Structure formats: C-alpha cells, structure tokens
Amino acid sequence: MNRVRKARADDAPRLWQLRIDAILCGCRGHYPRALLDRWTQGTLNNEFVNQVRERFWVIEQCRRVIASGTIDLDSGKLDAIFVCPSAMGTGVGRNMMNHLQHLALDAGLTQIHLEATLNAASFYRRLGFKGDTPSLYHSPRGFNLACILMHKPIA
C-alpha cells in the first residue's frame, strides 16, 4: 500500500538519491549525458535537508520512499516530482500529483503550474496540464535546462 506523508529531515539522503536515479533514468535520451551528469553531481547538503523538511511530500511503499513532490501554496508551483525508476509507470507519480492538487484546492488555489522536463510533459498532459511554451530552467548550479511551462486549472 502506498502512503503519502510529509517528508522529514531524515528522508533527505534517500530523496537525494531518488532525485539522481529519476533524472538519470527518466531524462536519458531527452538531454545530453553531460548535462545529466552536471545536473546530478554534488553531494547532499544542509540546504537540501532543510528543503526536504520544510517543503517535500513523499510516497512510501513498504516503508521505502519511492516518490517525492513539493508545492508552493502561495503560487501554486509544483516542483521536485521524482519517482523511483522501479515505480515509474505504476501510478505513483499520479498519486503524488493528486495529493499535491488536493493541497492546492484546500489552500484555495484555482490553478497549479510547473516547469516540465522534456520527458515528463506527456505525463503531465495526461493529468490535464496544458501548455507548450518552451522555456529554460536556470539551475543554481550554473546551467540551463530546456523545459515546458505548463498549468492546470483546478477550481
């Protein structure tokens, strides 16, 4: 059984690795390998641990974290939607998105939005997101990542 819960600081090491695994698996073929390497380099730091504790939600299956996601309840922006490669295509990502959408509705938001990686845009479209506007995500790590701006009315 999958269980959604608020992330804790002690989830950070698993979420750091989940992020790396999801990027390397899901984004392969959509971005150059050198860019994927740059995106996933580095080590777990206190800033990430703090973000996990403050902003992240996780899905657990048999006490193992298999998905993550965040939502800014002021702006409606979704981020850090990552699914363990072995759980991709099983509905876990959809479950996380449903949970985040319910949080947005409970907060009185009428729309949610995100910057979709090139590989994930079709997934978000299946969930009712619209948008084809190409954009660049400007990573604090000093590189740009092609993405697609997408939004979804939820009211």
pTM for this predicted structure: 0.94
Average pLDDT over residues 107-115: 98
Structural domains of the chain, with CATH: 2-109 (3.40.630.30)
pLDDT at 9: 97
Q: What is the enclosing helix (H) or strand (E) of 126?
A: helix 121-126
pLDDT, one tens digit per residue, over 114-145 is 999 999 999 999 999 999 999 999 888 888 99
Are the C-beta atoms of residues 85 and 92 closer than 8 Å to each other? Answer: no
